[in-house]
Amino acid sequence: MFQLANFFVDVSLLRRAPQDLPPSMPVFVLVVLLNVVVATIGIVDMIPGASAMAAAMTDVVFMLVMLRLVLMIQNRSARFVQTATAIFGSGIVLGLIALPLQLTLDPNAQGNDIPAFVSLAYLMLLVWSQLVIAHVLRHALEISFALGVGLALVYSVLSGVTIQALFIGN
């Protein structure tokens, strides 16, 4: 288990690629479930109750659908389990790093009430998470890093807009 956690840390630091992980459906399922749990804990202050878990699951579904589509388009469907496992495993690592930041934020706070260092740290973590997704996609799809960044941003915007519309409203 320690080797697996270390692998996800290495992916999060852009030192390992999804092809370095043997495909394993049980590991994939475990990592997806843990990712949902970490994401739910991180957003429960913004989205109350069971809706937080539904929002986290919506994000997972978005990623899985996007991965399936882009891997099929590139004729690399066999890489799905490894790619998804790498993305969700690194998502757990980054989500655990983000938890202290997310849990210090008051959902009712105005922009001026949030300490600058928390905002900056959270922004840097969000940017880094996009780079990690881009890194994994670059290797899985054999594309440029810039195109991986573009795909990561498309996923994030579509998922974010959908979650905003379904669970946050306003």
| 170 found inside a domain | no
Domain count, the chain: 1
- Structure confidence at residue 170 as a pLDDT band (50, 70, 90): low
Task: Read off the pLDDT of residues 40-82 as tens digits, 9 standing for 90 and up.
Answer: 998 888 888 889 999 999 999 999 999 999 999 999 999 999 9
Output the pLDDT for position 78.
Answer: 94
| 169 found inside a domain | no
Task: Read off the pLDDT of residues 86-144 as tens digits, 9 standing for 90 and up.
Answer: 999 999 999 999 998 877 776 566 656 777 888 899 899 999 999 999 999 999 999 99
| 168 found inside a domain | no
Chain mean position to CA 73? 22
This model's pTM is above 0.85: yes
Output the pLDDT for position 112.
Answer: 63
| 58 found inside a domain | yes
Average pLDDT over residues 28-45: 93
Enclosing domain of residue 54: 2-163
| 31 found inside a domain | yes
| 80 found inside a domain | yes
- Structure confidence at residue 35 as a pLDDT band (50, 70, 90): very high
CB 132 within 8 A of CB 11: yes
| 77 found inside a domain | yes
Rounded distance between C-alpha atoms, residue 18 and residue 131, angstroms: 14
| 134 found inside a domain | yes
Q: 10 Å Cβ neighbour count for 140?
A: 24
